[in-house]
Structures are given as structure tokens and as C-alpha cells.
Amino acid sequence: QACTDSTLIIKPGERAAIPTGLSVEIPEGYEIQVRPRSGLAFKKGLTVVNSPGTIDSDYRGEIKILVINLGSETLEIKHRDRIAQLVLQKVDQIHWEEVVTLKETARGTGGFGSTGLSTPTE
């Protein structure tokens, strides 16, 4: 929820850091993911800039929701408006191993658009 003394105005294309008034102690090995509210994103174009945003377990400050107005109308955010979802998620800590070559796969280096759609047959 937004925690603000006054109405926040977010014009089309603008970004904002919306205060929540929340500070939390996240257990080690976990993170909080900040996700958009689907209805607000679809109907108004307000979404989380770096979706999903990550709040690390060692952060102790106020949680602020980083949003962008992708819609065509100016939006007003008032105190207690629900603007995002917070999800507590376990984080696996891994150790990367640098290698010289990678194992071959059927996809190989095929990038964007290389899977998902079948090519028409004649």
C-alpha cells in the first residue's frame, strides 16, 4: 500500500518511488519480490519498473515501490492505495563454475524466436 501524506501524481511515461511505510527484517536465505498488481497494470498501465523487483535480506530501510506509468492517462496514487504485491521467496545460493566450453543442445545458440512456433509444412 502507498503511504503518503498527499496524492502522488504520475504522468504517462513517468517513474516514481512510492513509499510504503514498511520496513521488514527478511530471514537470511530469502528475498522479497515486488510484483505488479495485474489489474492495475492492465487497466491503468502502472507497473513495477524492474519487475520483479528484489529486496535483499540485508536491507533494513523503508520499502519503496518503483513504478512506471505506461498508460496514456495521468494517475493519482492516494494513501493506502494498493500498488504492488510482495512475495517472500527462498533464494538458493549457488557457486558458478567457469568453463571453456558448454555442452551441446538441440537448440544451440538459437536466440529469440527460435522456439515455440512451428514452421509451416508444405
Domain membership of residue 96 (yes or no) is no
pLDDT digits (tens, 9 = 90+) for 3-25: 999 999 999 999 999 999 999 99
According to the model, what pLDDT value does residue 121 have? 58
Q: How many domains does the chain have?
A: 1
∠ CA 106-109-114, nearest 5°, is 75
Which phi-psi region, left, alpha or beta, contains residue 79 (left: φ > 0; alpha: ψ -120 to 50)?
A: beta
Mean pLDDT of 80-108: 94
pTM recorded for the entire structure = 0.79
Domain membership of residue 27 (yes or no) is yes
pLDDT digits (tens, 9 = 90+) for 45-65: 999 999 999 999 999 999 999
pLDDT(117) > 90: no
59 vs 109: CA distance, rounded Å: 37
Domain membership of residue 121 (yes or no) is no
Domain membership of residue 97 (yes or no) is no
